[in-house]
Amino acid sequence: MTMTVDYEMLEAEFNLDTKLIIKHIENSTQIKKYALSLCDETKFMSIRKKQCRAFIDLLINIGGWYCQCCNLQLYSKKHYISHIGSATHKAKGLGTPLIECSNKICRKKFATQNEFEEHLQYSHRCFKSPKNSDKVLLLEGKEIGRLLRKGVGGENWNATEISFYNNYMKKTRVGDDVKDYVLKPNEYGVLESVPTFVSLEEEEPIQLKTANDYLKKWDSEDKQVEAYENELEEAGRIWSNMTPCEPLEDVEYKLKKNNKI
């Protein structure tokens, strides 16, 4: 004979909240087990009263095992703690998509790109998975795009976002970027590429208050460009005037000599 839950008995004899039991009984085998056991009149009342005390503790704790962020009800402390520490819960709270390792043997999930990259750093097998490398580049590209839409040059970025962008700038510098440009922080602390031939000292921010201040600054910049163009022109002239049989000479040396540097 299959037993059923007698809710009237649970309320009358054990003073239990039957509405709460009905709400959770289909999702919790523990609640159903307690409810059926208390309705079993073949058991001694002393045993049933002892079970009732444990049942009441369970029903009281259910409210604390509800994750509002994920809209998920857990039915044990162990499962609740496990959920709170999971990547699924963390990603939901941060509003970020879950990142899954593409290694078929692994398939671990991560809430942030930093956690995912740290996993690849210490797992050689997962690091070698081509799809994981593509995933890192795609995530970085999406994050850079999001930051640029949020505020050009670092405006409205938080410290974590600035740190991510600066590390990205350092990591992606290759070829001519390393030789012809240097990274310099702007007013928000965000690194920007600045040509190496421009004097960084002269680029320091100047408080410009009048039209004459602006004109002086522009004249200074024009002189820098003009000096650079004259130097290129002089180097070309020296090179073109060299006879074919004349031993090759150092153009830079002649420039310094002519300019008495």
Question: Within this chain, do residues 158 and 254 fall inside the same structural domain, yes or no?
Answer: no
Count structural domains, the chain.
Answer: 3
- Does residue 100 sit in the same domain as residue 60? no
Cβ-in-10-Å burial (0-12, 13-18, 19+) of 29 comes to exposed
Q: Indicate if 163 and 214 belong to the same structural domain.
A: no
Report the distance separating Cα 52 and Cα 77, nearest Å. Answer: 19
* Bridge partners, residue 152, by sequence: none
In a shared domain, residues 53 and 93: no
- Burial level of 224, CB count in 10 A (0-12/13-18/19+)? middle
pLDDT at 52: 92
What is the average pLDDT across 205-210? Answer: 56
Picking from 24-33, 70-79, 132-141, which range would have the lowest pLDDT averaged per residue?
132-141
129 and 185 co-located in one domain: yes
- Residue range(s) defining the domain that contains residue 27: 7-70
Domain presence at residue 156: yes
d(CA 155, CA 220): 29
Mark whether 166 and 223 lie in a shared domain: no
Same domain, 144 and 96: yes
Range 187-207 burial, b when 16+ CB lie within 10 A, else e: eeebbeeeeeeeeeeeeeeee
In a domain, 35, yes or no: yes
User: Is 75 contained in some domain?
Assistant: no
Helices 7-14 & 45-62 angle (0-180, nearest 10): 100
CB 214, CB 222: distance < 8 Å: no
In a domain, 79, yes or no: no
Measured between alpha carbons, how far is 51 from 70 in angstroms, rounded to an integer?
A: 31
CB 101 within 8 A of CB 121: no
Q: What phi, psi does 102 have (nearest 5°)?
A: -80, -10
143 pLDDT band, cuts 50/70/90, is confident
* 118 and 32 in a common domain: no
Better-predicted residue by pLDDT, 261 or 98:
98
pLDDT of residue 200: 47
- Under the banding of pLDDT at 50, 70 and 90, the label for residue 238 is low
Share of the chain above pLDDT 70, in %: 73
Residue type (1 letter), 144: I
Residue 2 included in any domain: no
- Strands 191-195 and 181-185 turn out to be antiparallel
Output the average pLDDT for the chain: 78
Taking residues 120-143, what's their average pLDDT?
72
How do residues 91-105 score in pLDDT, each as one tens digit?
888 887 888 888 878
